[in-house]
Every structure is written in structure tokens, then in C-alpha cells.
């Protein structure tokens, strides 16, 4: 079910970005963080030793999963920005533009920067940098020692309490590293303490239904019960997403179901990367003003899925994770044990 969950999160991000509706889409990135923390800890624990060979193998795996589709979108963006009509729309929709200076080009190509500034070639790069950063942290101490992971999570909760008591702008809280770290730590601890937490997953079906609808209910009542800029909905949705990850981790499906789940989940990262650019092209083709609307969302639905499929088929499955899978017979990684596949989609992707 993790694959379908990842796809749903990516689609909610698209709805928020292109229509400006708020179907819990603003919180989806934090749900990705939590899921990534869980899956990354699982995969590292089962497949990668803390040795030079293990480090190298893990680094190659992450690079092949994250960079090929991202760099493909970078190349598409550079070409797109050569056309004035597309360039103006791209800047208007998401401040997509050519980086200003060598340092910004470095940030945009290698996805590296503590405070990545607009304009950017792929606006979502700031979230991917957090993925890279926390993958390294999890690989070395936190995937190996569960009590360190628990201390990390406790520190994140303390920081969240400090933030909730202050008056910092919500957008600053949303984009900062400690809050992202809280979600990665939660996912890491969900894996380490999954047996201890298992009683909290029963009865499974009613809890799944309640946890899935809770973010939408919260969003519906948010204007009435929370002030504008309140951090409470953000942290409540982070809790809902962590609980949902715990529930989904207990589900076991048939091999055919697991394969379908994996295939659907593999579309999530390309969708996340390409939807802004598809919207720019669609609006230009139809002669529409570059404003977020339901019409824009509907018009971009099929093109976004088509571009995502092409990225997955010709980039990810050839020079991305597909290449990583083909190199496995010569890889230094330990043989793939049952634990890696115990959660459907665990070996697939820990990026959005």
C-alpha cells in the first residue's frame, strides 16, 4: 500500500499547486518525509552494512534513484525557458527561471543548498535536498541504533513545542530543517519500534478509514478553529501521516497486488517533478492566463500522468533505478532478504 499512498500524496500536491485548493496537499511533503524515514531505515537495516563498500553502494543507489529524472527535468526546463511565452508563464506560476550565478547553478544541478533561492529550474528541489541530507543521517547513526533514533525524535518534539509557543511565520516553520527532521525521525522510530507499536494498529480497517479522512476533516474545520498561520494543523497532520504509515506497514498483499502497488508508486516522483512544467506548457498551448484554477488542474491531469510515465519508462527504468537493479549481480550489497520485501514497495523508492 505504500506505493498507492505515495501516488495519492503526489496527486494531492498537484491539486494544491495547480488549483490552489487545499485538500491536505500542503502537508503531503511532510507525509513523504515520514514515509521516507520508515522505508529508508528498513532498507538500510536489511541491505547496507556500515562499511566503505556499503556506503558506496548506498550512495550509488540514492544517486540513481534521485538524479536521473531530476536532471531530465532540469534539461527540459532549460529548453523551455528559451521561449519567451513559456518563460514568462513559468516565472509567474512557480518562479521557475534560470539560476543567477555559478553558485545557484551548482545548487540547481546537484540539489545542494541549505537555503535554495528562487528562481529555480525545478521548484521542488528544496524538498529533495532534505531527502538527501536526512538519508545520510539515517544511514550512519539512526538506522543502526534505535535509541539514538528515539532521542532524535524526542528532540524534534521538543523543537516542535518550542515553535508552537512562538510566533514565527508558518512558511518559515514549514520549510525549515528541524521540522522535516521530526518527520524523518518519526518514520525511523516507526520502523525500529514497529513490534511495540503493533497493538495500536487494531482494529485495522476502522483505524485506516479514520486516519485517511482525518486530514480532510481537519482542513475543512481549520478556518473555524485555528487562526491564520497556526502551526497546529501542520503538526496534527504530521501525526496523522505517521499513524497512517504505521497502519500501512502492517498490510500484506498478494504478489500481483504488490506489483501493482509498486508500479503506481513509481509514478509519484516523476509526477512530483514535472507537474509545474506540464502546467506551463498546457496553459501556453491553450492560450490561457497563467493562473491556478480548476480548469488548469483538469487540463493538466492526463498530460502530467503521460509525462510522468515517460520519465519513469525511459529515464528511471533505464538509467535510474532500473540500471541499479541490473548492476546488482556485481554489487557488493548483501543478498536481498525477506525483510526488505516485507513491506510492499520498500525496495522501490523513498523519494516522493
Given a cut of 80, whether residue 69 has pLDDT beyond it is yes
Given a cut of 50, whether residue 336 has pLDDT beyond it is no
The answer to whether residue 351 is domain-embedded is no
In the DSSP assignment, the letter for residue 96 is B
The whole-number average pLDDT for the span 285-292 is: 95
pLDDT (tens digit, 9 = 90+) per residue, 91-115?
999 999 999 999 999 999 999 988 8
- What pTM does this model have? 0.92
- Give the confidence band of 321 by pLDDT, cuts at 50, 70, 90: confident
Is the distance from CB of 163 to CB of 224 less than 8 angstroms? no
Give percent of the chain above pLDDT 90. 76
The answer to whether residue 349 is domain-embedded is no
The answer to whether residue 346 is domain-embedded is no
Among 133-137, 155-159, 223-227, whose mean pLDDT is lowest? 223-227
The whole-number average pLDDT for the span 57-80 is: 96
Q: Across the chain, what does the average pLDDT equal?
A: 90
Highest mean pLDDT of the ranges 169-183, 207-221, 297-311? 297-311
The whole-number average pLDDT for the span 167-177 is: 87
Those residues whose C-beta lies under 8 Å from the C-beta of residue 107, and which sit 6 or more positions away, are 99, 113, 116, 125
The answer to whether residue 207 is domain-embedded is yes
Q: Which domain holds residue 71?
A: 2-341
What is the reported pLDDT for 237?
93
The whole-number average pLDDT for the span 210-224 is: 90
Given a cut of 60, whether residue 331 has pLDDT beyond it is no
The whole-number average pLDDT for the span 261-277 is: 97
The answer to whether residue 350 is domain-embedded is no
The whole-angstrom separation of Cα 39 and Cα 349 is 8
Given a cut of 80, whether residue 158 has pLDDT beyond it is yes
Q: Which residue has the cell 543502526?
A: 144
**Set of cell numbers at residue 69:** 529524472
The answer to whether residue 278 is domain-embedded is yes
Among 47-56, 150-159, 164-173, 246-255, whose mean pLDDT is lowest? 164-173
The answer to whether residue 37 is domain-embedded is yes
Given a cut of 80, whether residue 349 has pLDDT beyond it is no
- Give the confidence band of 25 by pLDDT, cuts at 50, 70, 90: low
The whole-number average pLDDT for the span 107-134 is: 93
The whole-number average pLDDT for the span 190-204 is: 97
Q: Which of 184, 114, 190 is nearest to 350 (CA)?
A: 184
The whole-angstrom separation of Cα 27 and Cα 229 is 14
The whole-number average pLDDT for the span 134-154 is: 96
The answer to whether residue 304 is domain-embedded is yes
Is the distance from CB of 109 to CB of 98 less than 8 angstroms? no
Total domains in the fold of the chain = 1
What is the reported pLDDT for 114?
81
Among 53-67, 206-220, 326-340, whose mean pLDDT is lowest? 326-340
What is the reported pLDDT for 165?
87
Amino acid at each position: 500500500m505504500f506505493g498507492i499512498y505515495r501516488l495519492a500524496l503526489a496527486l494531492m500536491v498537484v491539486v494544491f499547486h495547480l488549483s490552489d485548493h487545499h485538500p491536505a496537499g500542503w502537508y503531503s511533503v511532510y507525509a513523504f518525509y515520514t514515509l521516507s524515514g520508515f522505508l529508508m531505515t528498513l532498507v538500510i537495516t536489511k541491505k547496507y552494512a556500515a562499511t566503505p563498500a556499503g556506503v558506496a553502494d548506498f550512495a550509488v543507489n540514492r544517486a540513481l534513484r534521485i538524479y536521473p529524472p531530476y536532471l531530465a527535468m532540469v534539461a527540459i526546463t532549460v529548453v523551455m525557458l528559451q521561449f519567451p511565452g513559456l518563460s514568462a508563464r513559468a516565472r509567474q506560476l512557480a518562479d521557475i527561471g534560470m539560476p543567477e550565478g555559478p553558485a545557484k547553478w551548482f545548487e540547481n544541478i546537484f540539489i545542494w543548498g541549505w537555503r535554495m533561492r528562487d528562481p529555480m529550474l525545478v521548484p521542488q528541489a528544496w524538498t529533495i535536498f532534505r531527502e538527501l541530507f536526512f538519508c545520510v543521517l539515517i544511514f550512519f547513526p539512526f538506522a543502526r541504533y534505535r535509541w539514538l533514533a528515539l532521542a532524535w525524535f524526542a528532540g524534534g518534539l521538543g523543537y516542535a513545542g518550542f515553535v508552537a509557543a512562538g510566533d514565527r511565520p508558518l512558511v518559515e516553520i514549514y520549510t525549515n530543517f528541524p521540522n522535516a527532521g521530526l518527520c524523518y525521525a518519526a518514520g525511523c522510530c516507526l520502523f525500529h519500534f514497529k513490534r511495540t507499536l503493533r497493538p495500536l494498529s487494531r482494529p485495522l480497517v476502522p483505524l485506516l478509514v479514520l486516519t485517511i479522512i482525518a486530514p480532510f476533516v481537519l482542513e475543512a474545520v481549520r478556518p473555524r478553529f485555528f487562526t491564520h498561520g497556526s502551526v497546529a494543523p501542520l503538526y496534527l497532520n504530521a501525526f496523522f501521516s505517521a499513524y497512517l504509515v504505521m497502519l500501512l506497514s502492517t498490510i500484506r498483499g498478494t504478489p500481483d497486488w504488490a506489483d501493482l502497488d509498486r508500479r503506481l508508486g513509481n509514478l509519484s516522483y516523476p509526477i512530483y517533478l514535472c507537474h509545474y512544467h506540464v502546467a506551463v506548457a498546457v496553459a501556453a498551448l491553450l492560450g490561457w492566463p497563467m493562473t491556478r484554477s480548476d480548469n488548469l488542474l483538469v487540463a493538466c491531469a492526463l498530460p502530467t500522468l503521460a509525462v510522468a510515465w515517460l520519465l519513469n519508462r525511459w529515464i528511471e527504468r533505464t538509467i535510474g533505478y532500473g540500471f541499479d537493479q541490473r548492476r546488482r549481480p556485481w554489487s557488493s550489497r548483501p543478498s536481498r532478504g525477506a525483510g526488505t520485501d516485507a513491506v510492499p514497495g520498500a525496495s522501490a523508492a523513498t523519494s516522493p
